[in-house]
A = this chain, B = another copy of it.
């Protein structure tokens, strides 16, 4: 596929070949992302970050990517004081930003905002998360992390833990992983189970899928343990939340049941899903994962602006 000018709205817009191409390029970007190698690939190019909802991690990693490639950045970090307040439509804000920049990263609280934006932009849109919708660069960096930290994606056994119902991240990741030859295990509280249509689709695409009853069982065989935040707001009863939070917490003790080579991932921010005691163990891959956001976004920015092929 020709990426130049492409609007990155959903990971579903990519085929496996596209994804592998992005990951290959991202891999090559790692030394630039670390600041070990300098780059002028984006010299003269401007990225607009339009964050209608704050997300420090997503914004800063996009900005780090753009700046480390020699480009520059403008935009806003939250919607207070934008023209949206004066009644401007998203379409008009996007038209404005597309007149002032070469690529737009859009974060928006409403599902479908990125697709809509892509209809009014002269420059490529990258969806930086639109509500319950998509967050394709998160999925791509998750895949890069698996590849870099376990050596490959094909053949991996991946366990997804936590809020699998509302977690946007895990739906997209399940879809993307299903393009590869993987075994997926889901473990979640009864009220936060993976939607059956997502599981069904993954199965149709060729992934082996199963539900585990306990977290202990789910980690035993896994190469990757992917943990998501369980939000207190999902539970009417705080005691109920506390019980679930305790059961699904990743601890050093739990990890003794896991393979030596297993890695723990988390899209961050984490609250209590992973104990700080895990941070310095060989399992912890979640901080590296945050770092991999930079080379991944570099690759995509380079592709859609046409400086990479």
Contact = CB atoms under 8 A, between A and B. Distances in A.
Interface of A: 35, 38-39, 43-46, 48, 53-57, 60-61, 63-64, 67-68, 72-78, 80-83, 86-89, 91-93, 95-97, 99-102, 268-271, 276, 287, 290-291, 294
A97 B294 CA distance: 11
Given A35-B102, A39-B44, 19 more contacts: A38-B43, A54-B81, A56-B82, A56-B83, A56-B96, A63-B74, A64-B100, A67-B72, A67-B74, A83-B269, A86-B269, A88-B270, A91-B276, A95-B287, A96-B268, A99-B287, A99-B290, A100-B291, A100-B294
A38 B42 CA distance: 11
Contacts of A74: 60, 63-64, 67, 73
Nearest to A232: B87
A88 B63 CA distance: 21
Contacts of A48: 60
Given A35-B102, A74-B63, A96-B57, A88 B271 contact: yes
A43 B72 CA distance: 13
A60 B77 CA distance: 13
A55 B84 CA distance: 11
Contacts of A53: 81
5 contacts: A35-B102, A53-B81, A56-B76, A56-B82, A57-B96
Given A99-B287, A287-B95, A287-B99, A57 B83 contact: yes
A291 B99 contact: yes
A270 B92 contact: yes
Nearest to A65: B100
A260 B85 CA distance: 35
A124 to B, nearest CB: 13
A141 to B, nearest CB: 12
A76 to B, nearest CB: 6
